[in-house]
Chain A
Amino acid sequence: MVKDNSLSSIILDIVIYVFLILLMIVILYPIVYIFSVSLSSSAAFDAGEVWLWPVQPNLEAYKEIVTGKTVPMSFLQAVINTILYTVLSLAFTTTLAYPLSRAKERVPFHGLITKLVVFTMFFSAGMIPVYLIVQKMHLLNTRWALILPAVISTYNLVVMRSFFEGVPVELEEAAFIDGANELTIFYKIILPLSKAALATVGLFYGVYMWNQWFSAMLYLSDRVKNLYPLQYIIRQIVMENQLAAEAAAAGELTTVQVSTASLKYATLFISIVPMLCVYPFIQKYFVKGVMVGSVKG
């Protein structure tokens, strides 16, 4: 690329850098703020003294989290759910997307399966029927209730299928000639060539499960509260103030215990960290992956 040293180009570069720096500040500031509040005293937060750096810094909130049982356990559950779900979802998604990406002649009921899959993008049975299925399959109060009903996302399946369609069939034909069967081709050729798509779709699945609280609310009960994922616990912590106000207005007899701001923000910060750690490692695949299916022909 030829370097353009014209004044207009330099001005444009400055504008771009200024804009990107501002954008970076807008994105980073909430994270820095959450971290600072988590390290500040509640009194300093109430007094409005925290806006960038921690004021009266202390590790009390993190100490409370680490010594308490709820947050560490829910963090562990969220990690287990996310890993398990991502692995299973990728396995099911790729094994369904691959045949659907190939010629109709090679796959029995190709059209029917495609139609059934696409149908679920537009129509859903709703919360109650899904709940009943989960109940009848004895999945209530188990980890599988969070994972199995959502194990394949049709959107991700379509992304994956589009990517597989871009892998030349000639590679498979060559492998066939060398004696490989369908499974060998899938594992030895197609998947290694699909790392970008796997990383992207895997990230979609991982983020989905990491942020998941609604299915935990529906399918888990207090009897298995050790299975509650982190986001569900965070939701309860964040809602405490509102619930406390409502409880007081309704004249309820039980006192609601409200967490301090630093504890809330520390829990929020802890929930952000794993995703922040994962992104840099898959970023190189991500740019390529999100382009999947965007150009045809």
Chain B
Amino acid sequence: MKLKKIVALATSAVMAVSLLASCGSSSTQGHIEQDGKTIYTYYLNMYTQDSKGYAEGQDTNFAQLIREKFNVQLEYDRIPRGDWETKTNLSYAVGNEADVTTGGKEPQYKKWASEDYLAPIPQEAYTGDDCILKDWKALWSEEDFKDVLALAKSSDGELYYLPTLRQEKAQMCWDYRKDIFDQLGITEFPKTVDELYDVCAKLKAAYPDKIIISCNGMGTTSPGSAITGFFQAYWIPELILTQHSYVDPVTGEYVPYALTTDAAREMYKTIKRFNDAGFIDKEIFSIDKDTFSSRLAQDNCFITYNYVYNIDDFNKKTKGTNADKTSNWTWTANMITAYPEKGTIYKRDPLYSNWGPAFSEGIEEDMDRYNALLEMFNWFATEEGQLYNTFGVKETDPEEIKAGVAPGNFSYSMVDGEPKYNPGWYDESNPETDQDKDKRLTTEYGSMGSQFAKEQHMFDNIRGKEVEALYNAFQAQPNYYYFDQIPMRYDEDEEQRFADLEIALNAKRDEYIQRFFTGDVDPNNDADWNMYISDMNKVGLQEFIELQTTVYERTKEAIEKEEAEMAAAEGKDSGEESPAEASEAPAAE
């Protein structure tokens, strides 16, 4: 008996020790002295998109460049993208995190910030005209930058990462097979739900064995991500599956949970009606990109809600190996609406992509070291930085940039005022170049790739022209509206409650999206609809609505206050009287 107790105690102790062993902390690197200069060293964690290599070591062109320009030296931990979150979480948990991490998403950063893993970006670094991050800040207009800050800051009012400019103003639209439309005498893509139904009926009558509408979901968010075109027809934002709440762009009304409203019910009725008529792909909630490509190749989809710049790829997939086959996929700026008298919704892309570099807690202990890094990231946002990160080095570039480039290894030349890759270099905007064999900046110069924005010429050549055309076409349409993102700043407890409720609500919502679609539960039937609402309430809908409303109201107030303070700080910086000071001045006199 005694032995048993000792064994029990010993094994418990082993387990406890092994668990406690997880509590660790990292020690940050400092700097090295080189040629009489202080070179700040950092450990940087970044994710890689493919298995293409990077030039390693401190003698690469990129390493020499940042050492010369910013006194910065980076040591990398490059992680395949699919593993980045797990490995970075683990590194924070075991205390050997990198000084800088890139590629995280805003929710992760906000979570890590609330767990004290991240250092805030000093407010003075992005306030005023001559701040360290002035070029990064200038990626947006002054008004837009205020909105970016309002959205990206955490609940403590601090910014914990540097968001990336979203260069696409609008990219999602309805794409359709114009050749098939022409063949059936359909002259225009529909604008209302009823018109869409009529067009689908015509297509179905002509091609009874074919799927009319299909789409691959955008990742793993929810099965509903494949039918977001229908969401918008009912004035529900495209991003509602992750955002849940919205503010109506016409009435200004705040809706804390969208997918249980009357509009949502009408939307569910519509997708069921379309499915019952055989218009929608039965597998739309689960098909991946490969299966969707097969649909195209088999002429098994004539309408999809997708990216504007995918048209060429759709035509290529549809033709397959038969170059003589007719395929004329076309995009349209006609969005579908169920409420033509009220207007039409399109998706205006967010002001920023919610990923970018973040800095680990402890880095602010040496502000010179921190600032050197911020200066480097600010340079990435300059035209010179974007040009370097996208196109590399031109033979006539300044000496410090040429350092480390072997003769004959200059990557681009200016042709008619536009940068063009030299022969033998991979150009993602040019399908003639070979992505496997041609040289890349990462492998030749060791550079990290585009940060914050793609160089404008490259962006235009890849997708910018289509994006601009679509955006302009939306602008030209009467009564077209978009949803603004709404800032929501949760404190730590609220964030936990939000996460718990969101998981339960998402699971129930996704279950019902599929059941409404298949007709297992009928949204036209009051009893079925009430069952849905009741089930959502059981998993915390009312509590979620209360939480969202509280956070929305409080965040609105906090942002108004912050903007007033920033305006005051900007005023001081430029030597002008701030509004607050101006209003106080007469009283002081």
Contact residues of A with B, CB < 8 Å?
41, 43-48, 56, 70, 111-112, 115-116, 119, 123, 125-129, 131-133, 135, 217-218, 221-223, 225, 233, 235-236, 239-258, 261
The distance in angstroms between the C-alpha atoms of A225 and B79, with both chains bound, is 10
**Closest Cβ neighbor of A243 among chain B residues:** B81
Bits for B195-226, please: 1 = Cβ < 8 Å to A, else 0: 00000000000000000000011111000000
- Which of B11, B87, B288 is the one whose CB lies under 8 Å from A119? B11
B294 at the interface (CB under 8 A from A): yes
The distance in angstroms between the C-alpha atoms of A257 and B449, with both chains bound, is 14
Given that A253-B450, A257-B52 are known contacts, is A112 also in contact with B7, CB under 8 Å in the complex? yes
- Which of A127, A217, A250, A255 is the one whose CB lies under 8 Å from B83? A217
Give B441 Cβ to nearest chain A Cβ, in Å. Answer: 11
The distance in angstroms between the C-alpha atoms of A223 and B167, with both chains bound, is 33
**Closest Cβ neighbor of B298 among chain A residues:** A48
Cβ–Cβ contact A128 & B90, under 8 A: yes
- Which of B288, B289, B453 is the one whose CB lies under 8 Å from A253? B453
- Which of B51, B80, B353, B451 is the one whose CB lies under 8 Å from A251? B353
Band of interface residues on B: 35 or more
The residues of B that contact A251 with a CB separation of less than 8 Å are 164, 166-168, 349-350, 353
Q: Supply 11 A–B pairs (Cβ within 8 Å), ascending by A.
A: A47-B298, A125-B19, A128-B22, A129-B21, A217-B87, A221-B77, A223-B77, A225-B51, A245-B288, A246-B218, A257-B50
Among B77, B216, B219, B453, max chain A CB count under 10 A is at: B219
Give A290 Cβ to nearest chain B Cβ, in Å. Answer: 31
The residues of A that contact B219 with a CB separation of less than 8 Å are 242, 245-246, 249
The residues of A that contact B354 with a CB separation of less than 8 Å are 250
Cβ–Cβ contact B320 & A46, under 8 A: yes
- Which of B15, B90, B167, B216 is the one whose CB lies under 8 Å from A127? B90
**Closest Cβ neighbor of B166 among chain A residues:** A251
Give A129 Cβ to nearest chain B Cβ, in Å. Answer: 4
Cβ–Cβ contact A43 & B297, under 8 A: yes
Not counting A128-B93, A222-B77, A242-B288, a sample of 7 additional A-B residue pairs whose C-beta atoms are within 8 angstroms of each other reads A43-B297, A47-B320, A128-B90, A217-B83, A235-B82, A249-B219, A253-B451
Which residues in window 339-386 of B have CB below 8 A to A? 349-350, 353-355
The distance in angstroms between the C-alpha atoms of A250 and B106, with both chains bound, is 11
- Cross-chain pair count, CB within 8 angstroms: 142
Give A71 Cβ to nearest chain B Cβ, in Å. Answer: 10
Cβ–Cβ contact A116 & B11, under 8 A: yes
Give B85 Cβ to nearest chain A Cβ, in Å. Answer: 11
Cβ–Cβ contact B77 & A129, under 8 A: no
The residues of A that contact B353 with a CB separation of less than 8 Å are 250-252
Cβ–Cβ contact A41 & B220, under 8 A: no
Which residues in window 401-432 of B have CB below 8 A to A? 428
Bits for B483-520, please: 1 = Cβ < 8 Å to A, else 0: 00000000000000000000000000000000000000
Contact residues of B with A, CB < 8 Å?
3, 7, 11, 15, 18-19, 21-22, 24, 48-52, 76-83, 86-87, 90, 93-94, 96, 105, 164, 166-168, 216-220, 288-290, 293-294, 296-298, 307, 317, 320-321, 349-350, 353-355, 428, 435, 449-451, 453-454, 462
**Closest Cβ neighbor of A116 among chain B residues:** B11
Given that A244-B289, A248-B307 are known contacts, is A129 also in contact with B321, CB under 8 Å in the complex? no
The residues of A that contact B454 with a CB separation of less than 8 Å are 253
The distance in angstroms between the C-alpha atoms of A31 and B571, with both chains bound, is 70
Give B50 Cβ to nearest chain A Cβ, in Å. Answer: 4
Cβ–Cβ contact B21 & A132, under 8 A: yes
The distance in angstroms between the C-alpha atoms of A82 and B518, with both chains bound, is 47
Cβ–Cβ contact B297 & A255, under 8 A: no
Cβ–Cβ contact B19 & A222, under 8 A: no
The residues of A that contact B77 with a CB separation of less than 8 Å are 221-223
- Which of A48, A249, A255 is the one whose CB lies under 8 Å from B294? A48
**Closest Cβ neighbor of A111 among chain B residues:** B3
Given that A112-B7, A128-B90, A251-B353 are known contacts, is A43 also in contact with B105, CB under 8 Å in the complex? no
Given that A221-B79, A252-B355, A253-B164 are known contacts, is A245 also in contact with B21, CB under 8 Å in the complex? no
Cβ–Cβ contact B22 & A129, under 8 A: yes
The residues of B that contact A135 with a CB separation of less than 8 Å are 94, 96
Give A272 Cβ to nearest chain B Cβ, in Å. Answer: 20
The residues of A that contact B51 with a CB separation of less than 8 Å are 70, 225, 233, 236
Give A61 Cβ to nearest chain B Cβ, in Å. Answer: 13
